[in-house]
Amino acid sequence: MARKFFGTDGVRGTANQYPMTAEVALRIGAAVGRYFRNDGTNRHRVVIGKDTRLSGYMFENALTAGLTSTGMNVFLLGPVPTPAVGLLTNSMRADLGVMISASHNPAEDNGIKFFGPDGFKLSDEAELEIERLIEDGVEPVQATNIGRARRIDDGRFRYIERIKSSLPRAVPLRGVKVVVDCANGAAHRAAPEALWELGAEVIPVGVNPNGLNINKDCGSTQPRLACETVVAHGADVGICLDGDADRVMIIDEKGNVADGDQIMGLLATRWADEGRLNCGVLVATVMSNLGLERHLKDKGLRLERTAVGDRYVVEAMRKGGYNLGGEQSGHIVMTDHATTGDGLMAGLQFLAAMVESGQLASDLVNTFETVPQMLKNVRYAKGQAPLDVNAVKSVIADSELALIGKGRLLIRKSGTEPLIRVMVECEDSALLKTVVDAVVDSITEAVST
């Protein structure tokens, strides 16, 4: 069965445009309600969190209507990070967790992510079954079995305590000056509060959400503001989150940005030295830099690659019994502490490395030498299939031939946006640029005709 609603991370799109409409959200709520309330009782519960997008109110209400119409009891958390939903789904013994967020996307987009009762994201098989139920339509229960909905006021505080517990008690943050950029998103209160309670001197930015400014000129995908703030305030480090706080970029005291690969490289080697890295394996996606793989091999460790998407990283981790993984984009998954990527938790692990080693952030963010890598995106319209165009196929084939023994080319459709992502990795910078330009130009021409 072909997917109609679900992408690599739930359902996502422009708010008030199909499929991200209130009507579809109600149908989705009813479908997942039917899927999880499978014994007909009213003991089943679902927790719903959201980020700070204006459209979150609409989807929160629509999902609640769909879920309660099938007999599910709904607990509304309000604005909380995505990892908080995974945590609270499990700790509150809920059957389902729902996060309303489009992560790093602009404010006009929104999305719906799902967590099972164990706090992990749903499997492909579960999503396909829910798609079938969405197509079947709403199947309401009798009036006496309609579910209840109520707000939970302490969800953020539960999450903060869990975050704090992931930092070793012997690691004091007193005297550490930290800039935290919350992208005007879900962690705008939780992140500064957690860092302050742990003793850090906190300089918050991106903490004034208005429903329309999430990820705008701030956050992990646009870290310039955080970089400038770190330098201007003489901070020791910057922690730059995205809109739902499941991603992080680290900024050193000089204002340089370290991506997820560098963070994973640091944590993997430290954990291995401490005997904490299960099986000597780090799990990352095909997008991670070849330099990371070489670095791990030199340390006697192994990189296991997956398809793009943190859910696929987590699936590989669970299958292999590994406890550290993530993505170059900043999803860092530590299954000893969390069920999904947690930007703030990863930031705390970096702070622990700084404190325990006595090193500057700039000494820690350059764990390995990267192989030159270039990523460009080409936007396409609904219904277009530029990768099926013969001229594009020909250019891709020629490019792959040119890179044999010198680098690699990765082309894929984004699972969250209408984009073709073109990534080339090659130590020959001239060839790198030539290949990227050739492939991007061919796709651009295909989508413009």
- 158-255 matches 11-153 in CATH topology: yes
Q: What is the number of other CB atoms lying within 10 angstroms of the CB of residue 278? A: 17
**How is domain 373-448 classified at the CATH fold level?**
TATA-Binding Protein (3.30.310)
User: Which alpha helices (H) appear in 49-149, and where do they start and end?
Assistant: 56-69, 82-91, 124-136
Instruction: Give which of 124, 37, 105, 119 is closest to 74, Cα–Cα.
Output: 37
pLDDT of the residue at 340: 95
Q: Where are the domains of the chain?
A: 11-153, 158-255, 260-364, 373-448
- Could you confirm whether 123 is annotated as catalytic? no
169: exposed, middle or buried (Cβ count in 10 Å: 0-12, 13-18, 19+) = exposed
* Per-residue confidence in pLDDT tens, the chain, 449 aa: 567 888 878 899 999 999 999 999 999 999 999 999 877 777 899 999 999 999 999 999 999 999 999 999 999 999 999 999 999 999 999 999 999 999 999 999 999 999 999 999 998 889 999 999 998 887 889 999 999 999 999 999 999 999 999 988 778 899 999 999 999 999 999 999 999 999 999 999 999 999 999 999 999 999 999 999 999 999 999 999 999 999 999 999 999 999 999 999 999 999 999 999 999 999 999 999 999 999 999 999 999 999 988 989 999 999 999 999 999 999 999 999 999 999 999 999 999 999 999 999 999 999 999 999 999 999 998 778 899 999 999 999 999 999 999 999 999 888 777 899 999 999 999 999 999 999 999 999 999 87
199 phi-psi bin (left φ>0, alpha ψ -120 to 50, beta other): left
H or E element: which one contains 32?
helix 22-36
pLDDT of the residue at 171: 83
- For residue 116, the number of C-alpha atoms closer than 13 Å in the C-beta half-sphere is 12
Q: Which residues pair with 407 in a beta bridge?
A: 426
What's the per-residue H, E or C state across 151-211? ECCCHHHHHHHHHHHCCCCCCCCCCCEEEEECCCCCCCCHHHHHHHHCCCEEEEECCCCCC
Alpha carbon separation from 179 to 191, 204, 229 (Å, rounded): 11, 6, 7
Q: Is CATH 3.40.50.12280 correct for 158-255?
A: no
Alpha carbon separation from 89 to 2, 121, 257, 345, 351 (Å, rounded): 28, 11, 33, 18, 28
pLDDT of the residue at 2: 60
Tokens of 366: 């350059």
Enumerate helices (H) and strands (E) in the chain, giving the number of each: 14, 18
Sign of CA dihedral 271, 272, 275, 281: positive
Instruction: Give the dihedral of Cα atoms 343, 344, 349, 355; nearest 10 deg.
Output: 140
- For residue 312, the number of C-alpha atoms closer than 13 Å in the C-beta half-sphere is 15
146 vs 100: CA distance, rounded Å: 22
Instruction: Give which of 392, 391, 374 is closest to 433, Cα–Cα.
Output: 374
| Stated pTM of the model | 0.91
Q: Which of 55, 69, 101, 103 is catalytic?
A: 103
Which CATH class name applies to 260-364? alpha beta
Architecture of domain 11-153: 3-Layer(aba) Sandwich (3.40)
